[in-house]
Amino acid sequence: MSNLSAEGGHGAVPLQGVPTGEGVTPPEPEWPLWEVFVRGKRGLNHVHVGSLHAADDRMALLHARDVYTRRNEGVSIWVVRADAITASSPDEKDPMFAPSGDKVYRHPTFYDIPDNVPHM
Amino acid sequence: MTDHVHTTDEDEHESAYSGLLVNDAHWAFGTDFEDPLAGVDTTIPEGVDAPALAAYALMLGDDALVMSHRISEWTSNAPDLEDDIALSNIALDLLGQARLLLARAAKADASVVPDLPEGSPAPPEDALAFFREAHDFRNVRFAELANGDFADATVRVLLFSIWRLATFERLRSSRDHVLAAVAAKGVKELAYHRDYAARWFVTLAQGTEESRRRLVAALDALWPLWPELFDTHAVEAAAAAAGVGVDPASVREAAEATLDQVLAAADVPRSEAPRRAGVLGRTGRDGMHGEPLSRMLAEMQSVARAHPRGQW
């Protein structure tokens, strides 16, 4: 069985080492999981692109370069141990996110944004 | 043809993959698979003998082609997915170098290209790769050795990339524009191959007793063909004298110094395995190869030879 699940529409998240329920113990020891973030050539932010296994920081970075930037996607890579990420649980989706759904007044839609202001 | 190419700016911040292939200078040789040398000045530098240039380009191209195929044999066989892809990337980098160099050889001297049946759509670089016999290949014997375990792959990529990087660093100032461009592109690729292999070299050397034993065994197995990389063949001497090529002997010091750094970091002594002699004084550069190359070519060339008029 895979360590990843996209169940619940939240994208692929690690199932092990995060406080989100029961983990699955692998049958044999393997390299820990890392999440990979890549900043594109013209992108402003690092974007999560996937995950991989590696033995340490440096190897994770090299693997990320090999697996996720082989088609010239990025100019910068971040890797972080998956078990260092604290994730919200699908179970708490409603209390976490539903309350903000009807607060239209929180959107800054009443301002005129000049054409020459980028990235808004 | 460009339907799939992403050209809008709308969601450029949404994904790391947007903006791909858009007027991208990184693709120095274009994304066109028709003519690998399109846009590069292919005139022969003044005073350079075209057949000699072709013979030299063939040597560099065959090194890359044969080594690429050996490493590509790791695809789906590496210890884990990530290293599988890393090795595939290295093989593809070398295949790209091979394609440009073989195309360069064919362009400089069309007579090196084997005759194909009429109507064959195979471009010259493919004809060179798939329709020559083993004795027409000019690669160093190091590149053709049959694969071993992962430690072998590590040592193989390390030694090869140290040597080739030292060569390409000098080849960047070749008087031939194509060789200079191939070298400038290749230096970045080879620097990564070296970094990747050097890291695994140190890791395996400092890992378990078993990983160190395998690493040292791999070094001993490959070591006998290391000195041959620095032999100067008459073709290489001529290319160096004409200012288009690099004399392998001239990069020995730099390559050995780099290797010593890695060996020191890994706390592994230099191997004492003796140099493998040539056959009647002839080595890979003379077309003298071992059985592993014949076996490799039989597999690599079988499909192309069965369908010389095939469209791919």
Mean pLDDT taken over chain B: 90
Q: How far is B223 from chain A (nearest CA, A)?
A: 27
Residue A98 falls within a domain, yes or no? Answer: no
Instruction: Report how far residue B235's alpha carbon sits from residue B221's, in angstroms, rounded to the nearest whole number.
Output: 28
In a domain, A108, yes or no: no
CATH number of B50-306: 1.20.1260.10
How close, in Å, is residue A105 to chain B by CA atoms?
25
Better-predicted residue by pLDDT, A23 or B103:
B103
CA angle B228, B231, B236 (to 5 degrees): 130
Domain count, chain A: 1
Give the C-alpha separation, B194 to B189, whole Å.
Answer: 9
DSSP secondary structure string for all residues of B121-161: ---HHHHHHHS--GGG----GGGGSPP--HHHHHHHHHHHH
CA B76, B81, B87, B88 torsion-angle sign:
positive
Q: What is the pLDDT averaged over residues B162-178?
A: 97
Q: With 90 as the cut, is the pLDDT of residue A22 above it?
A: no
Domain boundaries, chain B: 50-306
Q: Does residue A106 belong to the interface with chain B, where contact is any CB pair within 8 Å?
A: no
Q: Do A66 and B89 touch (CB under 8 A)?
A: yes
**Using the beta-carbon criterion (under 8 Å), do A66 and B17 form an inter-chain contact?**
no
Contact B82 A72 (CB under 8 A): no
What domain range is A8 assigned to?
4-87
Task: Check CB contact under 8 Å for B24 and A72.
Answer: yes
A-chain residues near B192 (CB < 8 A)? 65
ipTM: 0.70
Secondary structure class of A13 (helix, strand, coil): strand
Nearest-angstrom CA–CA distance, B52 and B86:
35
Per-residue pLDDT band for B20 (boundaries 50, 70, 90) equals very low
Q: pLDDT digit string (tens) for A54-104?
A: 989 999 999 999 999 887 778 899 999 999 999 888 888 888 888 887 877
CATH, residue A22: 3.10.20.520
pLDDT at B40: 82
Pair B292, B67: CB distance under 8 Å: no
